[in-house]
Amino acid sequence: MSTDPAEPVIEINALGKSFGRVHALRGVDLEIRRGEFFGFFGPNGAGKTTLLRILTGQIEPGTGEASVLGIDLPDGAVEVRSRVGVVPEFESPPSFLTGDEYLRFVLRARGITDGSGRVDHWIDFFELGEHRHTLCKDMSKGMRQKIMLGAAFIHEPDLLFLDEPFINLDPLFQLKIQNYLREYIANGGTIFMCSHLLEIAERLCSRLAIIDEGELRGVGTLAELRTEEEDGLAEVFMRIVGRQVSNPEKEAPPTPVVEGG
Amino acid sequence: MSLLWLLKAMFREEFRLQSSYSSRMSTTAFPALLAVMAFIVAVSLPLLEDEMGRDRILLAVHSALLLYGLAVGAFSFLGREMMERRWGHATFLLASPQTLPISFKYTFFVFFLKDLLYYVFMTLLPLTIGLLASIPFTGFAVSSVVMLFFTMTATFLYAISFSFLMSSVYMRSQAAFVALAVSVIGLVVVSGMLQLFDLGLIVPSIAFQFSGDWWALAASVSASLVFSAWAVLLVEDQMESPVVQVVSHYDEVAARFSRFGKYQPYLAKEWIDLMRSHTLTKLITAFVLPLVVLTAFDWFLGTTVSSEIQFSTIFYGGMVGFFGVLIYSWLNNIDYVEYYSTFPVQVPDIVKSKLIMFVILTSGISTTFLVVMTGIKGEWSRLPVSLVVMFSTSIYMVVVTAYLTGLRTNVYLFDTRILSRFAILSIIPLMAITFLAMAEEALGWRMLVAMAVVCMVLATVSRLLLMRIDKKWRHETFTV
């Protein structure tokens, strides 16, 4: 794993993407350097997952250019995916493989044939020993998420793309994953993460971007983005996306009606 | 939730699902394409009628509808699968009872009704309109076309209801399913061998078609209602699945596919999927069933309809090849493939691994079936030619299907543009092989030469399309 901090691992120029009449991304410019823990935030439907899917070669950009680890997209999509780890938006490992088998499948698909030690390591890490022979379709959402995380980490990639990695995990495992990701960065890895969990992201991310309606509204460190009056990422986020949570005193929600109450 | 509201909502859901894969225009144009195809077939029918006779053609239509109904009616399987696997991130109204105060029996009943109406309006009605439009050219009587619509609907209803019932029985008890299936098949086979009663008693709508006896129609509809009501009653309102623990053996399975290079990991996964999802059993059934119906059809024609033409094993070789499309379709229907978007592979790699699995599966099943048929008919001298025809058509049809539909066969075949290409690419060789097989006595050695030419053309086209799969599907995503 190269550790040159000046080396850009993700370069995006004037990237745009539309789905029919919906503009998911509009002229996005971004550069992420090696060793960064980069957080990507925005409201629902802002374009976060679309960007992550373009950068991992899952979909093609509409306009502009993108490269990952020096590989141009979309032509180098397979090569990019062979060198990065991806945790997708939905925790959906194959229904009829066990967790143990899925990790072995991932290793073989990545050309690693002797991976028993790695499989055991990640099964132990996620405390899935009791469930390693359970079919993925019969696992809880949390277990499936652990399997997807294990599948992204198991080949020790240079770069991780994480879409809501903490979703469905209990607080203990959220903490365990945070510690692992810190260690991963310390060892020279790079992370691109989308998340709505701003408190966790604030503790982890070295730099961040906020996107809304397909446009980047701000990029920088938290210190660079926040004003003197703002305490944390949540307030920065609210200001930048220009929306406020409705005031419950001003806008009272409808009174719930309990039948027979 | 009123029945009408839920029915309309399910119709919208079905239409939007189809439109999400192709275009709204293609989905809307699908019935129009069927009408045009029915028109073309009707106009060219006199040629076929001379060769086969009207009774045979009508029987073929009903046999096809029986198969169609049996194939699409397994709602109880599909419902459970939809809920267990979530089909990627799409969810369906069928799963509403998980969060709303309605029962699964109710939603399954409405789902059954929706599918029945959807198929009648999207396929049977357009086919009838095509036949009606051909009247100035064919001279069909309006009353006979209308009669055909009702008998087709009755046959389809009968098959779809029976399939629904069988799938509900399966979900309750696999032993009961096997017992019922064996009983029904046994009844058909024994009655066929002993000539106890004719096909019209097993499928009353066929009797109605030929005799015009309204009691036969009433019997068909009544039986369908009993099947569907029974199926609904058997639907479980608690969709709980046991947590299944198995012996993990991926590496051992992968070792068996070591000769397949970069496809090895995916073939091992496919094989495990086939076994654990019981798709191999369903798949063999789905593959063998049409052939059993075809055999029954052959038997029925041989015993009850006077005809000089019998189906030879060469004809069966062609048919076995064409039915192979079902296997490819099932291979694409086992599980969603969204997780592949994180793998260093592209859609063509997975398409090709499914093609390899298809060859592995069909080589055994098809060859066995053809050898058995050859034995039954005592036509050992025709076996080598039959095998060549079977493998040529199998490979050709599956490559055409893979080229046109990629990993979404069931969905893309409802796209008008794709269906029309599929129809052209499959009907022409199908007709050529059928004609040559039936004209064997008349043509003699020239039939063999012509068949060899057809097989070579199929092999050449297969190779060309196989090479173009990469280009066509390279930019396709795994996500829905």
User: If phi over 0 gives left and psi between -120 and 50 gives alpha, with beta otherwise, what is residue B374?
Assistant: alpha
Query: Distance between CA atoms of B456 and B454, rounded to whole angstroms?
Result: 5
**Same-domain status, B231 and B117:** yes
Q: For residue B324, name the pLDDT band (cuts at 50, 70, 90).
A: confident
Domain stops at, among B197, B223, B243: B243
Pick B272's closest partner by Cβ from A93, A96, A137: A96
**Same-domain status, B40 and B166:** yes
More confident residue, B98 or B464: B464
Mean residue pLDDT of chain A comes to 88
More confident residue, B284 or B135: B135
Residues in chain A with CB shorter than 8 Å from the CB of B265 are 105, 108-109
Query: Distance between CA atoms of B399 and B464, rounded to whole angstroms?
Result: 10
| Per-residue pLDDT, A249 | 53
Residues sharing a CB contact under 8 Å with residue A18, sequence separation 6 or more, in sequence order? A24, A62
Give yes or no for B478 touching A (CB within 8 A): yes
Q: Which residues of A touch B (CB under 8 A)?
A: 53, 56, 58-60, 74, 77-79, 81-82, 85-90, 92-98, 100-101, 104-106, 108-110, 116, 132-135, 137-138, 148, 151-152
**Same-domain status, B281 and B363:** yes
| Per-residue pLDDT, B268 | 96
* This prediction's pTM: 0.78
Give yes or no for B239 touching A (CB within 8 A): no
Rg (CA), chain B: 23
B164 occurs within a structural domain: yes
Torsion angle, CA of A201/A202/A206/A211, rounded to 10 degrees? Answer: 70
Contact A82 B344 (CB under 8 A): yes
Q: Hey, how many other C-beta atoms are within 10 angstroms of the C-beta on B2?
A: 8
Look up residue B219 and give its amino acid.
A
Contact A81 B86 (CB under 8 A): no
- Give the long-range contacts of residues A170-179, CB within 8 A, separation 24 or more: A170/A142, A173/A126, A173/A142, A173/A146, A174/A200, A176/A125, A177/A149, A178/A203, A178/A204
Q: What would the pLDDT profile of A236-245 be if each residue is shown by its tens digit?
A: 888 888 765 5
Q: For residue A261, name the pLDDT band (cuts at 50, 70, 90).
A: very low
**Same-domain status, B317 and B201:** no
More confident residue, B247 or B294: B247
ipTM rounded to 2 decimals: 0.86
B258 occurs within a structural domain: no
Of the candidates B143, B418, B436, B145, the residue with the CA atom closest to the CA atom of residue B315: B436
Pick A97's closest partner by Cβ from B269, B341, B345: B269
Of the candidates B341, B324, B332, the residue with the CA atom closest to the CA atom of residue B399: B324
The answer to whether B156 touches B62, Cβ cutoff 8 Å, is no
The answer to whether A200 touches A37, Cβ cutoff 8 Å, is no
| Per-residue pLDDT, B240 | 62
Helix-strand-coil split of chain B, %, nearest 5: 80, 0, 20
Residue B85 has pLDDT above 60, yes or no: no
B431 occurs within a structural domain: yes
Q: Hey, how many other C-beta atoms are within 10 angstroms of the C-beta on A119?
A: 23
| Per-residue pLDDT, B87 | 46
Q: For residue B89, name the pLDDT band (cuts at 50, 70, 90).
A: very low
**Same-domain status, B221 and B298:** no
Which of B119-133, B286-300, B327-341 bottoms out in mean pLDDT, i.e. has the lowest? Answer: B286-300
CA-to-CA separations, B146 to B57, B135, B376, B392, in angstroms, rounded: 16, 12, 39, 39
| Per-residue pLDDT, A157 | 94
B255 occurs within a structural domain: no
Q: For residue B186, name the pLDDT band (cuts at 50, 70, 90).
A: confident
Which of A94-103, B78-87, B201-210, B253-262 bottoms out in mean pLDDT, i.e. has the lowest? Answer: B78-87
Q: How many CA atoms lie within 13 A of B48 on its CB side?
A: 16
Contact A138 B244 (CB under 8 A): yes
| Per-residue pLDDT, A176 | 95
Of the candidates B84, B83, B149, B159, the residue with the CA atom closest to the CA atom of residue B115: B159
| Per-residue pLDDT, B306 | 45
B270 occurs within a structural domain: no
**Same-domain status, B288 and B234:** no
Report the alpha-carbon angle A247-A252-A254, nearest 5. Answer: 140
Burial B320-338, CB ≥16 within 10 A → b, else e: bbbbbbbbbbbbbbbbbbb
**Same-domain status, B238 and B282:** no
The answer to whether B355 touches B406, Cβ cutoff 8 Å, is no
Of the candidates A12, A104, A147, A165, the residue with the CA atom closest to the CA atom of residue B269: A104
Q: For residue A235, name the pLDDT band (cuts at 50, 70, 90).
A: confident
| Per-residue pLDDT, A108 | 94
Which of A35-44, B59-68, B90-99, B296-305 bottoms out in mean pLDDT, i.e. has the lowest? Answer: B296-305
Mean residue pLDDT of chain B comes to 82
Q: What would the pLDDT profile of A190-233 be if each residue is shown by its tens digit?
A: 999 998 888 888 889 999 999 998 999 889 888 888 887 777 88
Q: Which helix (H) or strand (E) holds B350?
A: helix B347-377
Domain stops at, among B243, B265, B286: B243
Contact A59 B479 (CB under 8 A): yes
What number is the average pLDDT over the span B72-84? 62
Q: For residue B115, name the pLDDT band (cuts at 50, 70, 90).
A: confident
**Same-domain status, B305 and B202:** no
B252 occurs within a structural domain: no
| Per-residue pLDDT, A55 | 95
Residues in chain B with CB shorter than 8 Å from the CB of A85 are 342
> Which B residues 337-396 touch A at CB under 8 Å?
338-339, 341-346
**Same-domain status, B231 and B296:** no
Instruction: Residue B4: give the domain boundaries.
Output: 1-243
B363 occurs within a structural domain: yes
How many domains does chain B divide into?
A: 2
| Per-residue pLDDT, A247 | 52
Contact A98 B248 (CB under 8 A): yes
Domain stops at, among B200, B226, B243: B243
| Per-residue pLDDT, A178 | 94
| Per-residue pLDDT, B88 | 45
Q: What would the pLDDT profile of B193-239 be if each residue is shown by its tens digit?
A: 666 666 677 788 888 888 888 888 899 999 999 999 999 898 877 66
More confident residue, B339 or B78: B339
Query: Distance between CA atoms of B270 and B358, rounded to whole angstroms?
Result: 10
Contact A59 B243 (CB under 8 A): no
What is the residue whose two structure tokens read 């225009």? B25
Query: Distance between CA atoms of A183 and A180, rounded to whole angstroms?
Result: 5
Q: What would the pLDDT profile of B241-259 be if each residue is shown by its tens digit?
A: 667 778 889 999 999 999 9
| Per-residue pLDDT, A76 | 92
Q: For residue B455, name the pLDDT band (cuts at 50, 70, 90).
A: very high
Query: Distance between CA atoms of B455 and B449, rounded to whole angstroms?
Result: 10
Report the alpha-carbon angle B288-B325-B465, nearest 5. Answer: 150
The answer to whether B477 touches B408, Cβ cutoff 8 Å, is no
B269 occurs within a structural domain: no
Q: What would the pLDDT profile of A139-188 be if each residue is shown by its tens digit?
A: 999 999 999 999 999 999 999 999 999 989 999 999 999 999 999 999 99
Residues in chain B with CB shorter than 8 Å from the CB of A59 are 477, 479
Q: Report residue B93 as tokens.
A: 């109204």
What number is the average pLDDT over the span B418-441? 84
**Same-domain status, B291 and B209:** no
Residue B467 has pLDDT above 90, yes or no: yes
Helix-strand-coil split of chain A, %, nearest 5: 35, 25, 40
| Per-residue pLDDT, B91 | 59
Give yes or no for B331 touching A (CB within 8 A): no
Query: Distance between CA atoms of B94 and B78, rounded to whole angstroms?
Result: 10
Outline where B44-103 has alpha helix (H): 45-52, 54-72, 75-85
**Same-domain status, B179 and B320:** no
What number is the average pLDDT over the span B439-467? 89
**Same-domain status, B222 and B304:** no
Burial category of B94 from C-beta neighbours within 10 Å (exposed 0-12, middle 13-18, buried 19 and up): buried
Q: What would the pLDDT profile of A31-46 be if each residue is shown by its tens digit?
A: 999 999 999 998 888 8
Residues present in chain B in total: 480
